[in-house]
Structure 1
Amino acid sequence: MSVDLLIRGGMVYDGTGAGPVRRDVLVCDGRIDALTTGDADIEARRVIDATGLAVTPGFIDIHTHSDVSVLLDGRAQSKVHQGVTTEVVGNCGFSAFPVSAPSFSDHVDLLAGIGDDPVRPSWHDLAGYADAVHDAGVAVNVAPLVGHGQLRIAAAGMSAQITGDQVRKMRGLLEESLEQGAFGMSTGLTYVPSSYAETAELETLCSTLAGYGALYATHARGDGFSGMREAVALGRATGARVQYSHIALNEPNSWGRGSELLAVLDDARADGVDAACDVYPYDASASALTQYLPAWVQEGGVSALRERLGDASTMQRAEADLAAGWGDGARIPWFWDRVVLARTDAVLDAPEGATIEAAAAGAGMSPARYVLELCREGGNRVQVVLFYRAEADMRTFLRYAHCTLGSDGSAIPYEQHGRRPHPRAFGAHARVLGRYVRGLGDLDLGGAVHKMTGAVADRVGLRDRGRLLLGLAADITVFDPLTVADQATFLDPCRPPVGVHHVIVDGVPVIDAGCQTPARPGRVLRSR
C-alpha cells in the first residue's frame, strides 16, 4: 500500500468527543485514506512520527475576522501555528462582499472596522472574493458568512431608515450569496449600519436563512440577556439556526451571572430553537473604537461622523453623552484605565499600548473628548482592547455543552510593527489546550478537541471536515498535550504558541516540525 503521508504512532482524537485511540493516519490525494493499527505494510512519500503526540482534526475557528488579512498575507501565521486549518469569516456583520459600486466607499469604511490595513475590493460578490483569495494564495481554508452590514450598505447605503423594496433587495443579495456557497449570515448589532436593523428586517432575512438551512450568527446588542433574548426570538419566529457569537457579560453588574445567561439559551433549546454559542478564552474584548460612540454620532458612517463632530456645539454634546457611558439602553460606566489602545496608525500621535486614561491625560483632554477626536481623525481604523469581563463567566461558557471555540481574531503575521492586537489571534486554541484542559481541568482533551473541530463543522455545515474519518479532507493537527500552551500576552501578543508540531491542510504540510512551510493549499470552501 502506497500513500502520500503516514502519521505514525499518535494518539488519535477523532473530533467526535471520544477519547484517544492509538492509530496510524494515512493520507492520499488530500483525503484520509485509512486509519490503521500499524500492522499494515505501508509505503509513504512522507512519514511523521507522532509517538507521544495527539493527532486531531485541524482546528476550525468558528468566529474570525480574517476576511481581509488572508488577502494581505496568505501565510496566516497567527492561526496555522496554533493548529487552525479553517477560518470562518464574515462575522459581526462584516464581510468582504457584496460590494456595490454606488456605495463603494462605505463598503471600504466598514471593512476598515475589522482592523486590517485598507483594501479596495476588485470584486462584488462571493465568487469574485473567492477568486481573489485563490489568486493571493492562503495557507488555511476560508469558510465565508455574508455580513449583514455589507448587505445593508449594498441595498440602502448608510441610511438608518430602510424601505420594503430595500429589504427585498437585501434578501435577493443574501440569496445570491447563499447560492454561491455562503454558510450563512452574520449581524453586528452594535455596529453601524447593522445596528439600525429592526425586528421585521431581521425576520425577513432569517426566514431566508431558514429556507437554506443556513446559519444566523449574531453579535448581539443590548446587555447579554436582552441580546440573547432577541437572538433566540428570531430563531423561534423564523426557524433559523442561531449562533450567538462570542458570548460574554460585559456589564460589571452582570459579572458572575454566566449560568443565568445560559439558562436563556437552554430554555429556547427546550422549545425547539436550534441555538448555540461560541466563546473565546480571554476576559477582554477588542474592536473598533467607533463601536462605543453614541448611535447618533455614528449615524451615516465615517464621513457623516467627521462632519458632525466638526461642529463645536455637537462635539460638546457628544462628549457629554459619551462620558455618561457606553452600550445600548442602560449605559455601562467607563473605566478608562481598562481601555487600551491596540492600533492607532499614529492618529493624534496616540501611543499604542497605552490606556485611554493615560493617553488622554498626555494629550491634555478629557477621555471622552480624546476618544471622539481619535474617531474623527481615524474613523474605524482605531482599535481598542476592553478589560470588561470576568474569567469565571468565560469558563462557565467554555464548559457549556452547546458552546464551541472561536477566537474573534484574524489570521495575521507575527510582525505587527509595534501594534498590540488582542492575543486571541495568536493563542486562543493553544490557550484552551494548555490552560483550560491541562491546567484547570475545565475540559477533557477529547471534549476540547470536539469543541474546536467536529462540533464546529456540524454547526457551520462543513460536511467533509472536522473529524478524522475515512474519506474526509485531510486537515490534521499534531501537538504535544503535555506542553502545548499559548505565549501571547496583552503586552506582548505577537508570540507563537509552543507544542504544536505539525499542521496539515488538505493533505499538505503547512507547519512541519514547528516551522511554517511555503505551502498555500487553502481555499474558499462552499456550502454547495
Structure 2
Amino acid sequence: MSNQHDLVIRGGTVVDGTGAAPFVADVAVRDGVIVEIGSVDGKGREEIDATGLTVTPGFVDVHTHYDGQITWESQMAPSSDHGVTTVVMGNCGVGFAPVRAGDHHLMIKLMEGVEDIPEVVMAEGVPFNWSSFPEYLDALDKRQADVDFAAQIPHSPLRVYVMGKRGADLEPPTLEDLVAMRNCVSEAVRAGALGVASSRNLFHRFRSGALAPSVTTELDEVLALAEGLKDAGTGVFQCNPNLDNDAETEMAVFRAIAQQSGRPVTFSLIATPTRPENWDAYVAGIKQASADGLTIRGQFMPRPMGVLYGLDLSFNPFSLNPSFRPLAKLPLDEKVARMRDPELRARLLSEQPEDPNPAFVGLIKSITALYRMSRVADYNYAPQDSLQAQAERTGVTANELIYDALLEDDGRAILCSYSSDVQEYLGKTRDMIGQDNMIVALGDGGAHYGMICDAAYTTYMLTGRLEGEGLDLTTIIKSLTSQPAQSVGLQDRGVVGIGYKADLNIIDIANMELYRPQVTANLPAGGKRLSQKSKGYLATIVSGAITYRNGVSTGVLPGRLIRGVKSAPAAPAEAARQLA
C-alpha cells in the first residue's frame, strides 16, 4: 500500500469552499484529483504535515487580463503569488483575438490604452501566431503555466475582425456584420471560450483618447453577441457598464442580454463618486433579476479600487504637468535628482495636468486622498491617514507634501488613491461577500502593470477582512473558490471534495502578511511592472502538483488551457466526505 497516493496532506483544518463548517482531516490526491478525505491510511509519494494550518481549494480569479502574458511567460504573477490556481481572461472586451494580420498594432495600442500595458512589451512578447479565436485557443493549448487559464472572446477585437477600419472608427454595423459577429461568438464558445466580453465604459480608450471599438455600440450589436451564446448553448456574457449612466439604464441592457441569450450575465460593479446612488440600484437590480428568473451577477472588489502613483509607475500626481514630460523616461535616480531642484519643484507645483486623453487627466484631477503604502500593506486606511489630512494638520499645501512623499525611499515610494471612502465601502460590501450572484473579483491581474496591483485581493481578504467585521473564514473562502468557479461554469474545482480537481492551498492564516507592491523590470523589452508578495502560503497545489512552497515557485508548471465549461463530480462533496 506504500506510495498509494501522489500526495497526502495530513491533519489540516479543511475549509472546503462550500460554506460548510471547518473540519480536521487528511486529504489524498491521485492523478490530479482528490480521492480521499478523512483518516487516510495509504501513503503518499509526497506528504505534507498541515497540522495547525488551513487547507482550502485553490482560489479562482474570473477577472484577469493575462491574454498577452500567457503567450510569453509561464508564471501568471501576481495572481499565482496569492493562492490563485485558475484565471479567466478576455475581460472588458479587449484582447488579442480574433485579429487579422494588418490589425496587430491596433490591438496592441488598444491594450496599451485600456489596460496600461506598454506597447513595446506587447510588440516583442505577443507572437500573434493566430487569426481566428479558435486558432488563438490552439496556440494557448501549447502553453504551460503555474495556474490553469481560460479565455473569453472580446468584443473590440471581434468588431474590428469583422468590420475592419469601420469597426475601429465606431461606424454602425450592417446586418451582415451582425450575423458574422454572432457566428464568431458561437464558433469561439464551441471551440472552448467560456463566453464573450464587452465594455460600455467610457474610460476604456486608446492612449490617444479615442474610444475602444465596443464602447458606443448600440443594443442590436450587443444582442448579436448574446445570440452567439444562445446558438452555442453555453457560456457567460461579461460586460463593463457605462459608469456615466444611471444603474437602471445599464441594468436594462444586462437584462436584455440575459433574456436574449438565455445565459448568465456578469458585470463590473464599481463604486463611483460621481454616481454614488448607482451602487444600491445595481444591487437591487441583481436581486430583482434573480426574482424574475434571470441570472445577472455583479463582480466587485473586496476593498475600494486603488490606483497607485509613483515616480517609477505609469502616473504620479505631476506626471501630466508640462515640466514633467522631459523627465518621464529618465532612470529613477536621475528623475529624483532633477526633482530635488527647487526651481523645478516650484514649476511643477504651479502647473496643471495636460493630456489629449481626458480619462488620464481625470485620473489625476480626481485624486482627493492619497495614502503612503507601508512595507506591510494595510489597505484599510482611515481618513486622517491621508496626505491631504496630514497637510491640513501641518499647515503646508497638499501638493507640497505629496511632492516630497514621492521622493521618499529614493523615489520608490508608492502612494495609493482610493475610488471610495474605505470604511464606507467596507460597510456596504460586508453583507455582499458570499451572497448569491455577488462575485468577489476585479483584480485585473496581467494588466495595469504600472498603476494598479489589485490581484492580491485574495490575500487581502484573509489579512484585511477576516473576523474584524464579523466575516467568518468559511464565507470568505467560499467567495474566493466555489462561487467564482461556478459563476463561469467551472464546476470541477473550487471545492475540497472527492472527485474535484486537486487545486489546493495550505495556509498559515494567523501569520499572513501582505507586502507593499514593488516595481520590477522583467517584462519583454525590459518593461516594468508591479509585483506583490506575501507571507503565509505554505503550499499552493495545481492538479496535484506543488507549484509554490512558502511563496517561492517550484518551477513546476501543471497549469493548462481550460476549454469550455466543466461538470461537477458525480458524487456531491458533502456526501463523499469521509470524516475521521
Moved more, 502-511 or 13-22: 13-22
Q: Which amino acid aligns with 2:109?
A: D
The 3-state SS of whatever aligns with 1:399 is coil
Q: Offset of 1:267 from its aligned partner? A: 1.6
| Structure 1 residue identity aligned to 2:273 | E
Shift of 1:197: 1.3
Q: Distance in 1 between matches of 2:281 and 2:217?
A: 27
Rounded Cα–Cα distance in structure 1 between residues aligned with 2:141 and 2:224: 33
Map of 1:55 onto structure 2: 55
1:439 maps to a residue whose letter is: G
Q: Which residue is equivalent to 1:254?
A: 276
How many angstroms does 1:41 deviate by? Answer: 2.3
Q: Which residue of 2 aligns with 1:422?
A: 452
Aligned residue number for residue 362 of structure 1: 348
Separation (CA, whole Å) in 1 of partners of 2:141 and 2:190: 19
Q: Which residue of 1 aligns with 2:381?
A: none
1:265 aligns with 2:283: no
Structure 1 residues not aligned, in runs of 5+? 288-336, 376-383
**What is the identity, as a one-letter code, of the residue corresponding to 1:487?**
Y
Task: Identify the range of structure 1 (484-493 vs 13-22) with the bigger mean alpha-carbon deviation.
Answer: 484-493
The answer to whether the Cα contact below 8 Å between 2:198 and 2:240 also exists between their aligned partners in 1 is yes
Which residue does the alignment assign to 2:386?
A: none
User: Match for residue 275 of structure 1?
Assistant: 296
Rounded to whole Å, the distance in 1 between the matches of 2:553 and 2:8 is 19
Matching residue of 2:220: 200
Residue of structure 1 in register with 2:169 after alignment:
159
The gaps in structure 2 that reach 5 residues or longer are: 205-211, 309-314, 336-343, 362-414, 521-529, 566-580
Give the one of 486, 492, 495 matched to 1:467: 495
Partner Cα distance (1:218, 1:285) in 2: 21
Give the alignment of 1:68-79 within 5 angstroms.
Answer: 68-79=68-79
1:3 is matched with which residue? 5
Tell me the TM-score normalised to structure 1 length: 0.78
Q: 1:231 to 1:285 in 2, by over 3 A?
A: farther
Aligned to 1:303: none
Question: Match of 2:479?
Answer: 451
How far apart are 1:76 and its partner, in Å?
Answer: 2.0
- 1:147 matched residue in structure 2: 154
Aligned-partner SS, 1:482 = helix
Q: Aligned to 2:547, which of 510, 516, 523?
A: 510
1:261 counterpart letter in structure 2: Y
User: Aligned pair in 2 of structure 1 residues 389, 351: CA closer, same or farther (>3 Å)?
Assistant: farther
2:537 touches 2:549 (CA, 8 Å); kept in 1? no
Structure of greater Rg = 2
Contact 1:214 1:240 in 2 (8 A): yes
In the other structure, the counterpart of 2:398 is none
Q: Is the counterpart of residue 100 in structure 1 residue 100 in structure 2? A: yes
Closer/same/farther in 2, CA of residues 349 and 232 from structure 1, 3 Å limit: farther
What residue is the counterpart of 2:183 in the other structure? 172
Give the Cα–Cα distance (whole angstroms) in 2 for the partners of residues 107 and 370 of structure 1. 20
Deviation at 1:374, TM superposition (A): 8.2
**How much has 1:341 moved relative to structure 2?**
6.5
Q: Secondary structure at the match of 1:187?
A: strand
1:20 corresponds to which residue?
22
Counterpart residue number, 1:110: 110
TM-score (norm 2): 0.71
Name the SS of the counterpart of 2:187 in structure 1. helix
Aligned position for 2:527: none
Secondary structure of 1:243's counterpart equals: strand
Deviation, 1:217, is: 0.8
Note if contact 1:341-1:351 (Cα within 8 Å) is conserved in structure 2. Answer: no
Q: How big is the shift at 1:494?
A: 3.0
Moved more, 190-199 or 365-374: 365-374
TM superposition shift of 1:240? 2.9
Asked if the contact 2:53–2:507 (Cα under 8 Å) also holds between the matched residues in 1, the reply is yes
Cα shift at 1:62: 1.2
| Aligned mates of 1:500, 1:48 — CA distance in 2 | 13
Greater displacement, 227-236 / 446-455: 227-236
Offset, 1:185: 0.7
2:434 is aligned with 1:399: no
Partners of 1:258 and 1:396 within 8 A in 2 = no
| Partners of 2:325 and 2:300 in 1: CA distance | 31
- Secondary structure of the corresponding residue to residue 270 of structure 2: coil
Moved more, 270-279 or 432-441: 432-441
CA distance in 1, matches of 2:62, 2:246: 20
Give the residue type in structure 2 aligned to 1:499: G
Local SS of the residue matching 2:510: coil
1:293-304 equivalences in 2 (<5 Å) = none
Query: Which amino acid in structure 1 is aligned with residue 227 of structure 2?
Result: S
Contact 2:518–2:531, Cα closer than 8 Å, also in 1? no
Q: In 2, distance between residues paired with 1:347 and 1:140? A: 39
Is residue 187 from structure 1 mapped to residue 198 from structure 2 by the alignment? yes
- Between the two proteins, the alignment pairs up a number of residues equal to 454
Cα contact 2:319–2:353 (8 A) shared by 1: no
Task: Letter of the 2:98 partner, please give it.
Answer: P
**Identity between Structure 1 and Structure 2 (%):** 26
SS, match of residue 563 in structure 2: coil
The more displaced of 509-518 and 117-126 is: 117-126
Distance in structure 2 (CA, Å) of the matches to 1:170 and 1:177: 11
Displacement after TM superposition at 1:363 (Å): 9.9
Instruction: Tell me the equivalent position of 1:520.
Output: 557
CA distance in 2, matches of 1:209, 1:150: 17
Give RMSD over aligned pairs.
3.3
Q: Secondary structure of the equivalent of 1:422?
A: coil
How far apart, in 2, do the equivalents of 1:338 and 1:420 lie? 10
CA distance in 1 between partners of 2:266 and 2:421 (Å): 22
Check if 1:480 corresponds to 2:475: no
Q: Summarize deviations over 1:107-128 as a string: whole Å, max 9, x none.
A: 2322333333213411123443
CA distance in 2, matches of 1:178, 1:7: 37
Q: Is the 8 A contact 1:422 1:490 kept in 2?
A: no
Does residue 214 (structure 1) correspond to residue 235 (structure 2)? The answer is yes
Aligned equivalents of 2:49, 2:245: Cα separation in 1 = 49
**Residue 227 (str. 1) matches residue 227 (str. 2):** no
Counterpart position of 1:298: none
Give the 3 Å change call, closer, same or farther, for CA 126–142 of structure 1 in structure 2: farther
CA distance in 1, matches of 2:57, 2:152: 22
CA distance in 2, matches of 1:491, 1:227: 37
Amino acid at match of 1:508: A
Amino acid at match of 2:169: S
Which whole-Å deviations, capped at 9, do the CAs of 1:493-523 have from their partners, x for residues lacking one?
6331221111001111111233211111111
**1:435 aligns to 2:467 (yes or no):** no
CA shift for structure 1 position 223: 3.8
